Structure 1
Amino acid sequence: MKDSVDAQQNEFRKERYCTDQIVTPVVTVEQLIEWNSSLYINFINYEKVFDNVDRKILWNLLQHHSLPEKIVTS
């Protein structure tokens, strides 16, 4: 599974938590404000992106890449 999940992905990985994904940008923004630096942030609404995905194709791709069914169906 390690090869299937990007190193930046914290969910479903031992001793990595979603809260880390929340705290990191907050700390980064605070530091950049303190340093008087510019910052550009882009947020992607994946719910809207995946709203039009053929779920059967997505399911087949996930299976092809050996993601455990337990994760795919959660």
Structure 2
Amino acid sequence: MHVKIDDKRCIAAGQCVLNAPQVFDQRDEDGIVELLDENPPPDQHNATRLAARLCPAEVILLGEE
């Protein structure tokens, strides 16, 4: 799995961090998403997929390998 984010469209809802905190974080100053791991390990794939589905701004792009 490969993860990309479009942080320009992020609305800082935080669903990504709540569902996959090992893959995503939020900047302290404005809450915009930060990608911690663009190639998460297999044990994080389900959480990462859920985070992408729940993102209201649809800024998480997943590439399945």
Is the shorter-chain TM-score for this pair beyond 0.5, marking a shared fold? no
Which structure shows the higher strand fraction? 2
Q: Which structure shows the higher helix fraction? A: 1
Max Rg structure: 1
Provide the TM-score with structure 1 as the length reference: 0.27
TM-score (norm 2): 0.29
